[in-house]
Amino acid sequence: MTFALETQDLTIRFGGHVAVNAVSCGFEPGTLTAIVGPNGAGKTTYFNLVSGQLKATSGKVFLHGQDISSASAPQRSRRGIGRAFQLTNLFPHLTVLENIRLAVQSRAGLGLNLWSIWSDHRELIGRAEEILETVALAGKRDWAAAALPHGDQRKLEVAILMALEPDVFMFDEPTAGMSVDEVPVILDLIRGLKTRSDKTILLVEHKMDVVRELSDRIIVLHNGALVADGAPAEVIASPIVQEAYLGIEVAK
Amino acid sequence: MILRTLFSGDMPRSRVLTVLLLLILAGLLLTPFVFPGAKSTNVAAKICIFIVLVSSFDLVLGYTGIVSFAHTMFFGIGAYGVAIALTHLGPTWGAVATGVAVALVLSLALSLLIGLFSLRVKAMFYAMITLAVATAFMTLASQLSDITGGEDGLSFKVPTLLQPSFSLREAPFMGVSLDGKLISFYLLMAVTIVLFLVMLRIVNSPFGRVLQAIRENEFRAEALGYRTVVYRTVSNVLSALFATLAGCLLALWLRYNGPDTSLSFEIMIDILLMVVIGGMGTMYGSIVGATLFLVAQNYLQDLMKIGSTAAGGVPFLRNLLAPDRWLLWLGLLFILSVYRFPTGIVGRLRSKRSAA
Ligand SMILES: Nc1ncnc2c1ncn2[C@@H]1O[C@H](COP(=O)(O)OP(=O)(O)O)[C@@H](O)[C@H]1O
Ligand SMILES: [Mg+2]
């Protein structure tokens, strides 16, 4: 079968520093792959290469078997690669609802419509409100995004990704910095996505219990290279993970 | 419902602002009858023209977050288009249409070129590039004196209906003669209202919403799938076209065009002040900003003359209020208003409402 997403020898150098080093990996549709590794391992950079925010020094990216290596970030987004950012990345002075509605509008392909009134497109607003409910932010729909507490900003970040309805979801530490009671909302959303056989999920996450529960497979990045790949139990037990990654967890 | 469609769902959203806008509208409409004399009608006409020009500037600056210094170049292209066409083709409506069409095509081509070549660069460089292009254009306009009239500019005749000598009827109506100048004024107002409402529609379309998203966070807009270069370019081109139309109106109204009336950097600075005073990214701000600024610019001197005479006994005060100092006072007014209302008058009025 063809992979939903595949990278071949994907590499990026920043000066002499190789941040992502020849990563070859395929992701099957309907699976959730956790990407783990210590800080600075290259996880976020790998995501940036896949979603097009950074141009690879060498290597290729395939979406449903098609080479998208030369496609721009907006093109990749429209073709179905969706991305939630590790560092919250919103439209700060626009309302919470508008942040989501803009994603819904992009998905609907209405961006270049110059002559209709945006608020007449009730269906877009309705859809944005639906998504707002799923992340438990409905009460704050008219807040400016910048005024939200950190945890809510993280939720909004995920909500925007949901609104894009991509084929490939990329979550970059979605629950980082959230309070304990906020985490389940996000995890439930990801669980909901997992039941869809056509959706492919990549998840960078530090909380090992979350990774263990959600993932079908774990890959480990270390110094930009892919150093382990396999079933969750197997990878977590491997010496390289114990040393390179879980060592940090244990120390905490 | 009709109002909603007309205003594209973007009502003034502040009672004070609504009253202010209605006052401005009424003031402009009644000017020829209430404030007789050529000067007041001239100021009112200029306000209309600048409402179009400043709104079009707000489209790129306030809504898209692009700093361009080439805006008056497009204003100039419109004014020169009409002036050159009427000078060479004679005072017919066909000549007006030709001038407007040629100017629009030229502005379209130029803005597209500037946009495609330079909208990818950093904002600061973009501002510099537009400054360079505008300067080159200004030099070109004064060099090509055979066509443009050089520094002297061009005086020309407009179609009969708009000529001051044209008269609708012999007897004056309510003390005002119904001549071509009056017809010009009301036509100008009608066109201004239509153009303003069209721009209001554009910024409130799904497209306009993307512009605001780009202004807020271009990187994020790209990640949502919006090709920001395309949006910025379209916004830039549209803004240039509306500025061109404003230039056409100016030439038709003045029956003259020269480098100082439509191309100078002074105008560039003026519209920058108007959009900031009124409130960037609000559209209505351009109405308020243009009106306040032009009224101040044209009547502050008169006011100061009165003040200066009144303060006759006190030399220091008399000096301070001397009409020559009006620019100083205008500058002070500007600094004060930016300091007190960083979001402009419209931004201020609207935030008061939501706080209440
Ligand atoms: N734009 C950049 N320029 C230079 N170095 C970068 C850039 N982005 C990331 N890096 C470097 O690449 C390495 C990987 O970073 P990152 O992908 O953020 O790690 P992770 O997400 O796994 O914590 C780090 O050493 C980081 O300093
Ligand atoms: Mg990271």
Q: What structural domains does chain A harbor?
A: 1-80+167-182+199-252 (3.40.50.300), 90-165 (no CATH)
Model confidence at B100, pLDDT cuts 50, 70, 90, reads very high
Rounded distance from Cα B224 to ligand 1 centre (Å): 22
B225 at A interface, C-beta within 8 A: yes
Q: State pLDDT tens for residues B59-84.
A: 999 999 999 999 999 999 999 999 99
B-facing residues of A in 29-48 (CB < 8 A) are none
Q: Which residues of A touch B202 (CB under 8 A)?
A: 114-115
Residue nearest to atom 24 of ligand 1 (CA): A40
Residues whose Cβ atom is located within 5 A of ion ligand 2: A 43-44, 86
d(CA A252, CA A247): 9
Would you say A3 and A172 are in contact if contact means Cβ atoms under 8 Å apart? no
Q: What is the pLDDT of residue A244?
A: 62
User: Of ligand 1's atoms, which has the minimum distance to the CA of residue A204?
Assistant: 21
Q: Name the more confident of B342 and A179.
A: A179
Look up residue B5 and give its two tokens: 């469609």
SS (H, E, C) A60-109: EEEECCEECCCCCHHHHHHHCEEEECCCCCCCCCCEHHHHHHHHHHHHCC
Mean pLDDT of B271-279: 93
Q: Among partner residues A78, A89, A90, which is closest to B225 by beta-carbon distance? A: A78
Q: Is the pLDDT of residue B354 over 60?
A: no
- pLDDT number for residue B302: 82
Distance of residue B64 Cα from the nearest chain A Cα, in angstroms? 13
Grade residue A140 by pLDDT with cuts at 50, 70 and 90. Answer: very high
Backbone phi and psi for residue A200, each to the nearest 5 degrees, phi listed first: -115, 130
- Spatial separation of the C-alpha atoms in residues B149 and B214, rounded to whole Å: 41
Neighbours of B43 (CB within 10 A): 19
DSSP string, B303-340: HHHHHHHHTTT-HHHHHHT-GGGHHHHHHHHHHHHHHH
Please name the residue of chain A whose CA is at the shortest distance from the CA of residue B211: A111
Q: Domains plus CATH for chain B? A: 2-355 (1.10.3470)
- B83 with B258: CB under 8 angstroms? no
In this structure, what DSSP letter does residue A132 have?
H
What pLDDT shows up at residue B355? 43
Mean pLDDT of A86-96: 94
Shortest CA gap A181–chain B (Å): 28
Convert the pLDDT of each residue in A63-77 to its tens digit. 999 999 999 999 999
Name residue, tokens 């508008």: A98
Q: With a cut of 80, say whether residue A246 has pLDDT above it.
A: no
Q: Which pLDDT value is given to residue B278?
A: 94
Q: List, in order, residues 6 or more apart from A94 with CB less than 8 Å away.
A: A102, A144, A145, B212, B213, B216
Q: Is the pLDDT of residue B338 over 90?
A: no
Q: Is the pLDDT of residue A155 over 60?
A: yes
What average pLDDT does the structure give for chain A? 93
Q: Is the model's pLDDT at A224 over the cut of 60?
A: yes
Asked if the model's pLDDT at residue B311 lies above 90, the reply is: no
- Cα–Cα distance measured from residue A117 to residue A110, given in angstroms and rounded to the nearest whole number: 11
- What's the whole-model pTM score? 0.92
- pLDDT tier, A252 (very low <50, low <70, confident <90, very high otherwise): very low
Per-residue pLDDT reduced to its tens digit, A1-24: 689 999 999 999 999 999 999 999
Mutate which of A55, A99, A105 to disrupt the B interface (most B C-beta within 10 Å)?
Answer: A105
Read off the pLDDT of each residue in B151-168 and give the average, rounded to a whole number. 90
Average pLDDT, chain B: 91
Q: Check whether B327 has a pLDDT greater than 80.
A: no
Q: What is each CA distance from B245 to B130, B148, B238, B274, in whole angstroms?
A: 20, 18, 11, 19
Query: For residue B321, is pLDDT > 90?
Result: no
In percent, the amount of chain B with pLDDT more than 90 equals 71
- Give the nearest partner residue to B225 out of A74, A92, A101, using CB atoms: A74
pLDDT of residue B356: 38
Helix axes B71-89, B93-118, angle to 10 degrees: 150
Given CB atoms, is A182 within the 8 Å cutoff of chain B? no
Residue with the bigger pLDDT between B123 and B86: it is: B86
**Distance from Cα A43 to the centre of ligand 1, integer Å:** 8
